[in-house]
Amino acid sequence: MTVLAAILAQVIHSALMLAAAPVAGALRDGFEARLGGRRGADPWQPWRDLRRLARKQPALTETATLLPRIAPVACFAAAALAAAMVPSFTLGMAFARFADLLVVVGLLAASRIVVALAGLEAGTAPAGLAAGRMTRLACLSEPTLYLVILAFGMLGGTTNLDLLFGLRLQGMLQPVAAAILAVAALALAALAGPDEAALTAEFSGADLALVRMGGCLRELAWLSLAAGLLLPAGVAEPGRGPLAWVIGLAAWSAKVVVLIACLAALRAGAGDLRPSRRPLALGVAAILGTLAALLVLASVAAA
């Protein structure tokens, strides 16, 4: 019965992530537009765009090989698996045992890399520049991510996301300040990471729909990760019934919307992060990550 419930929870969670991913991006844009005094698009507009794109025949260059045909699928698969592993409304889902924090971070990176590979395949200038920019920024953000994973690993004694979320829910990730610092570093590293608009220019039609969906899923996975580690309340513990799931669902939606609103406010207030400022932001993220790890270590030494 528990196994069936775990599988059912996993299916519902995966469907939820798939359905919510495009809406989350639209919500952020909508909030940002509202804060800027504009009306903003309908939150369902990305879904309409995706449906329109999915019906279109992708066009490839005359020299295209198999790579740009596979890359959208691989990009989507990696992002979808990462999003399926980050718990949303309940713990103890079917993939819980595989949901290692380092694996999720690695999958999110892999999802971007295949798009860059396909971009390089076309041999155009913007794609090449974007691929270089992506790896350069990844070199700056990856050490921070490892430090954050170190901090969480030391806080909880594990890097498994399901266990970490559970420990955070029970208030066992002490000191909380270290957890908050680590989440801040994680968020900053994810935010200041590269945008791949120049890379998606190589795709069209149904392929573009898959790549865009992959990008939305990556964003939602980061948000969901931050929500679970920062605001743990409401998540259903393993083995709980449908009522707890419904409460968890409502709590998760509220948390994600709050985070999106904060993000939008940040962007509306401070403006989008300029590419030349991204290394600086990543440096700050690295300092925050180091501080989080040191805080954990100091608290252990004091205890």
Partner 1 sequence: MNAPLLAFLVAAIAALLGLGALAAVWPRRASLIVWSAAGVAGFAAAIALLDLLLAMPPATAALPLVLPLGLPGVPLRLALDPLAAFFAALVFGTGSATLAFIAATEEFPAATAVPICVGMLGIAVLGENGFAEGLGLALAGTALWMSGSADRSGAAQFGLALLAAAAVVAAGAILPRAGLWTALIGPGALAGLLPLHRWTAPAHGASTPTAALLSGAIVPTALFVMLRLLLSPNGTVPPAWWGVTLSLAGAAAAVIGGLDAAQAPDLDSALAAGTMRQTGLATLGIGVALTAVGEDLPAVATMALAAVLVLAVLQAIAGTLLALACGAIREGAGTRRLDRLGGLVRRMPVTTVCLLAGLTGLAAVPASAGFAVAWLLLHAFLGLPHAGTLPAQLWRCALVAAVGLASALSIAAALRLVGVACLGRPRTPRCAVADEPSRGGRLVLVTLALATTAWGVLVGPLLIVFADAPMRVLTGAGLGPLATPLGLAGGVESPGYAALPIACLLALIGGLVIWLRRLLGVPAAAAGGPAWEDGFAAPPGWLPFGDPTTQTAGADFAPSFHRCGASWPGRDSEIDRPNHTVPATGDWRTIVGSLRELASKGVNLRPLPAGSAPAIVLILLAGLLILCAWAGVS
Report 107-136 residues binding partner 1 (CB under 8 A).
107, 109-110, 113, 116-117, 120-126, 128-129, 131-133, 135-136
Question: Is 294 near partner 1 (CB under 8 A)?
Answer: yes
Q: Which is nearer to partner 1, 102 or 258 (CB)?
A: 102
Q: Which is nearer to partner 1, 258 or 298 (CB)?
A: 298
Residues touching partner 1, count (CB under 8 A): 90
Using an 8 Å Cβ cutoff, are 210 and 253 in contact? no
Among candidate residues 45, 55, 52, the one with its CA nearest the CA of residue 22? 45
Among candidate residues 210, 103, 233, the one with its CA nearest the CA of residue 158? 103
Exactly one of 153, 169, 253, 257 binds partner 1 (CB under 8 A); that residue is 153
Residues 28-57 that bind partner 1 (CB under 8 A): 54-57
| Interacting residues of 135 by C-beta distance below 8 A, sequence separation 6+ | 116
- What is the CB-side half-sphere exposure of residue 7 using CA atoms within 13 A? 3
Question: Is 18 near partner 1 (CB under 8 A)?
Answer: no
Exactly one of 142, 254, 266, 284 binds partner 1 (CB under 8 A); that residue is 142
- Outline where 192-277 has alpha helix (H): 197-200, 205-230, 242-270
Residue 106, sorted as left (phi over 0), alpha (psi -120 to 50) or beta, turns out to be alpha
Question: Is 172 near partner 1 (CB under 8 A)?
Answer: no
Question: Is 102 near partner 1 (CB under 8 A)?
Answer: yes
Exactly one of 89, 95, 165, 252 binds partner 1 (CB under 8 A); that residue is 95
Exactly one of 11, 15, 19, 139 binds partner 1 (CB under 8 A); that residue is 139
